[in-house]
Amino acid sequence: MSRSAHPAGPRHADVLPEGHYTAPAEDLNALDPKVWAHTVGRDADGVVTVGGIAVTQLAEEYGTPAYVLDEADFRDRARAWRTAFGADADVFYAGKAFLSRAVVRWLHEEGLNLDVCSGGELATALSAGMPAERIAFHGNNKSPEEIERAVRAGVGRIVLDSFQEIVRVAHVAQTLGKRQRVQIRITVGVEAHTHEFIATAHEDQKFGIPLAGGQAAEAVRRALQLDGLEVIGIHSHIGSQIFDMSGFEVAAHRVVGLLKDIRDEHGVELPEIDLGGGLGIAYTSDDDPREPHEIAKALTEIVTRECEAARLATPRISVEPGRAIVGPTAFTLYEVGTVKPLDGLRTYVSVDGGMSDNIRTALYDAEYSVALASRTSDAEPMLVRVVGKHCESGDIVVKDAFLPGDLAPGDLIAVPATGAYCRSMASNYNHVLRPPVVAVRDGEARVIVRRETEEDLLRLDVG
Ligand code: LLP
């Protein structure tokens, strides 16, 4: 394949030619606001700053690698979602994207609700003061203990994911003398245009109860008969990192179809519908995500239209964005350890983290961008692959990107849009210690999740 066939640069690994690449047209020192948190910029010396603090200072104080989170940006995005959906809808932040007690407090203050999917997330939410009634509890295999804790705590809703769970939750609630508000998660049979591992509404997968074949209707039938349950609605989550609203359109159409069938069969109009999360963000300049107000408008219109056609009162809508709120708010700051040019191929840039702090590239073929952060440079661009320090050749952080040709050990580089599913999916592979999350706001930085230590590792290893 010729160089000129791909003037836009090496975004797509499958079309990478052997040899050299056309250099990117964009200025390597520029920071595309699409992929960086709002307060990110460069100071007079060319050092990247966030919340008014230079990354060199952050690296000195907190070390690298570190996730650096822009608190103002987080709050802005959370508020934008809240405002876009208004008082007649609920926004549940999906805690799986990234959860910490500080985040729970910010969400609480900004008026968002919280979706948790494990006892650990529930404990974090409760310990930081999120009112239980604003928590939704998810999961395809909640343990009896988790169910009991959630019901005892009084969570606002449990999202039921199987026939067994309908009975289990009803039993626990009844034993505790409670009536638990529940939604039933269904799969609507939509193929979301996203990576196979993060698509969740086609039928051949572990989540939800299929609409097809009448299973979802049967689940509702059973749940309505159980005294321990108050069925408040239907839940559908079609997948993640989705840009195309047509999947939501089909999902809403089918969920409303089920609501209509329920009304016709049971004389009950369920008051709520949850359309899940999954809205995409920009990882590179090639991605064009929609704004929350556009998404809110589109979803509300779809549901209203479908309900009018079915002669149903429009139910209260809820959504569960995780990535779209926290994803763009953070970047990962690394120090370059080695720079290894491979003739005719590319230059491997090794950083002090890797797949243990960002598994997404290895797991989903995710694309990221990267910038030299501790200075600017006018050197010629070079094609790089940013790799980690793990004993595995698939340990790739950024598959293909350009960095200045004078990049050297000791430089700091930053990978934007790592706020979602990086710290939350981080591991201790190779006994590498998980990085801290440093929140920055108005010229002040504070650690909200501290760096792991060797003592932490050894404490778990009881010999
Ligand atoms: N609601 C439900 C029921 C979910 O299962 C998820 C994500 C969300 C909301 C939030 O989705 P978001 O808006 O963050 O896309 N580890 C993968 C993503 C897995 C998502 C799992 N469920 C990744 O790194 O892309």
What pLDDT digit, counting tens, does each position of 115-125 carry? 999 999 999 99
Task: Give the active site residues.
Answer: 391
Q: pLDDT, tens digit, for every residue of 332-382?
A: 999 999 999 999 899 999 999 999 999 999 999 999 999 999 999 999 999
Q: Is the CB of 419 under 6 A from ligand 1?
A: no
Tell me, what's the pLDDT at 287? 95
Query: Is 150 or 189 the better-scoring residue by pLDDT?
Result: 150
* Distance of CA 278 from the midpoint of ligand 1 (Å): 6
Tell me, what's the pLDDT at 26? 76
What's the pLDDT band for 440 if we cut at 50, 70, 90? very high
What's the pLDDT band for 190 if we cut at 50, 70, 90? confident
Tell me, what's the pLDDT at 13? 40
Question: What is the average per-residue pLDDT within 441-455?
Answer: 98
Rounded to two decimals, the pTM is 0.94
Tell me, what's the pLDDT at 23? 61
**φ/ψ of residue 15, rounded to 5:** -110, 15
Tell me, what's the pLDDT at 399? 97
Bridge partners of residue 135, in order along the sequence: 114
Tell me, what's the pLDDT at 92? 98
Distance CA 119, CA 183 (A): 18
Q: Give the 3-state secondary structure of 273-339.
A: EECCCCECCCCCCCCCCCCHHHHHHHHHHHHHHHHHHCCCCCCEEEECCCHHHHHHHEEEEEEEEEE
Query: Is 246 or 44 the better-scoring residue by pLDDT?
Result: 44
What's the pLDDT band for 236 if we cut at 50, 70, 90? very high
Q: Is the CB of 97 under 6 A from ligand 1?
A: yes
Nearest atom of ligand 1 to the alpha carbon of 425: 16
Q: pLDDT, tens digit, for every residue of 13-72?
A: 444 444 445 566 679 999 999 999 999 999 999 999 999 999 999 999 999 999 999 999
Q: pLDDT, tens digit, for every residue of 389-416?
A: 999 999 999 999 999 999 999 999 999 9
Question: What is the average per-residue pLDDT within 221-250?
Answer: 95
**Overall residue count recorded for the chain in this entry:** 463
Q: Is the CB of 198 under 6 A from ligand 1?
A: yes
- Which of these CATH numbers, 3.20.20.10, 3.30.1490.20, 3.40.50.720, 3.40.140.10, describes 138-321? 3.20.20.10
- Which residue's CA is the closest to the ligand 1 atom numbered 12? 278
- Which residue's CA is the closest to the ligand 1 atom numbered 6? 277
- Which residue's CA is the closest to the ligand 1 atom numbered 21? 198
- Test site for ligand 1: of 135, 240, 317, most ligand atoms within 8 A of the Cβ: 240
Q: Is the CB of 237 under 6 A from ligand 1?
A: yes
Homologous superfamily (CATH) for 41-70+328-460: Lyase, Ornithine Decarboxylase; Chain A, domain 1 (2.40.37.10)
Q: Is the CB of 137 under 6 A from ligand 1?
A: no
Q: pLDDT, tens digit, for every residue of 278-327?
A: 999 999 999 999 999 999 999 999 999 999 999 999 999 999 999 999 99
* Distance of CA 422 from the midpoint of ligand 1 (Å): 12
Distances (CA, A) of 328 to 1, 31, 368, 418, 438: 34, 13, 12, 7, 15
Q: Is the CB of 208 under 6 A from ligand 1?
A: no
356 close to 430: Cβ distance less than 8 angstroms? yes
Domain ranges (residues) in the chain: 41-70+328-460, 138-321
What lies within 8 Å, CB to CB, of 448 at 6+ separation is 69, 100, 101, 102, 103, 437, 438, 439
* Distance of CA 137 from the midpoint of ligand 1 (Å): 14
* Distance of CA 116 from the midpoint of ligand 1 (Å): 11
Least confident span in 10-19, 36-45, 217-226, 246-255: 10-19
What's the pLDDT band for 203 if we cut at 50, 70, 90? confident
Q: Is the CB of 324 under 6 A from ligand 1?
A: yes
Tell me, what's the pLDDT at 3? 31
Q: Is the CB of 321 under 6 A from ligand 1?
A: yes
What's the pLDDT band for 205 if we cut at 50, 70, 90? confident
What percent of the chain has a predicted confidence (pLDDT) above 90? 89
Tell me, what's the pLDDT at 19? 43
Nearest atom of ligand 1 to the alpha carbon of 424: 16
Mean pLDDT of the chain: 93
Token pair recorded at residue 197: 């591992």
* Distance of CA 127 from the midpoint of ligand 1 (Å): 23
* Distance of CA 440 from the midpoint of ligand 1 (Å): 25
C-alpha count within 13 angstroms, C-beta hemisphere, residue 29? 13
What percent of the chain has a predicted confidence (pLDDT) above 70? 92
- Which residue's CA is the closest to the ligand 1 atom numbered 9? 277
